[in-house]
Amino acid sequence: MTIQQMLLASGSGSDPTVQIQFRVYGAGGGNGSNWSNTGDPFNGGRGGYVQGTFLAVPVGTVFYIVVGQNGAQHTSGYATDPARYNGGARPGNGQYPGGSGGGATHIALVTGLLASLSSQPNQVILVAGAGGGGGNCSRGANGGGLSGLDAPSPQFSNRAGGEGGTQTGGQHSYPGVSGIFGRGMASNQNLAGGGGGGWYGGGGGDNSTGGGGGSSYVSTNNHFGTGALTNTANNASSGNSAGVGGEVQIYKNGSYHQSFGYTGSVQTYTVTV
């Protein structure tokens, strides 16, 4: 009996199931600026990586996929916030150069940007956090993991960089600002990088510092009555690099099946035999 025949046999009656694995990559944050010309790096942070396998998904199940947009290096004022699709925050107050945070990449059983699902968190399957944007001669923090990373502040030891999102909320040190569910935030400080999107987004930091990384999330719910996700991973800093958008790869019955990249819209994947 083939793998597919065994999986089909595991369904009840006329409801066949297949094995589906998701590999999800968060977007990288945008590069910051060399405003102070100190020689310190100002690259955006890397995104996170999550994966999980459902051993038996009913045929016909629809997954909603939102792939995060890459963070960007903004060379002049940028007022729109969030600046990047699926929760990447603009740099600082939008009046000076800096990097925006990348957007989170997520998979859910309902449609919508991640920030719109705060009242339906049990419908979210996987989230890969995004990297924070770079500041003025300061790096953005990497996203992913149970908590996104905090941005360093090599130029000013008394200024705190943007802090990473956690599993339960955002974090910040004054005068920074915390990320929220599904969104990184901008701190309204000059030359600061934007927070990366995530389960909880990264925060914006003090003047000239980088943005925090967004946290990732792996569901432990038994969504289909056939078992929760197995073979899971939730790794910080293992997603896409600075300025690169997110990605979702799907493996069906153990073999590569399909990929989804950034489009700026909600995409769907329907499980077939």
Give the integer Cα–Cα distance in Å for 183 and 67. 14
Please report the pLDDT score of residue 4 as a whole number. 41
Q: Give how far the C-alpha of residue 18 lies from the chain's centroid of Cα atoms, to the nearest Å.
A: 27
User: pTM value?
Assistant: 0.93
Per the listing, tokens 């099946």 go with: 257
Residue partners of 89: CB distance under 8 A and separation at least 6: 81, 82, 83, 100, 101, 133, 179, 183, 184, 185, 186, 194, 195, 196, 197, 201, 202, 204, 211
Report, in this order, helix, strand and coil percent for the chain, each rounded to 5: 5, 25, 70
> 39: how many CB neighbours lie within 10 A of its CB?
8
> 222: how many CB neighbours lie within 10 A of its CB?
11
Helix (H) or strand (E) holding 99: strand 98-99
Give the integer Cα–Cα distance in Å for 211 and 213. 7
Q: In the beta sheet, which residues pair with residue 55?
A: none
CB contact at 8 A, 26 and 140 = no
Please report the pLDDT score of residue 83 as a whole number. 87
Please report the pLDDT score of residue 199 as a whole number. 98
Give the integer Cα–Cα distance in Å for 260 and 273. 19
The SS3 of residue 9 is helix
Please report the pLDDT score of residue 80 as a whole number. 78
Please write the tens of the pLDDT for every residue from 129-165.
999 999 999 999 999 999 999 999 888 888 999 999 9
Please report the pLDDT score of residue 53 as a whole number. 98
Q: Is 6 exposed, middle or buried (0-12, 13-18, 19+ CB in 10 A)?
A: exposed
Pick out the chain residues at pLDDT < 50. Answer: 1-12
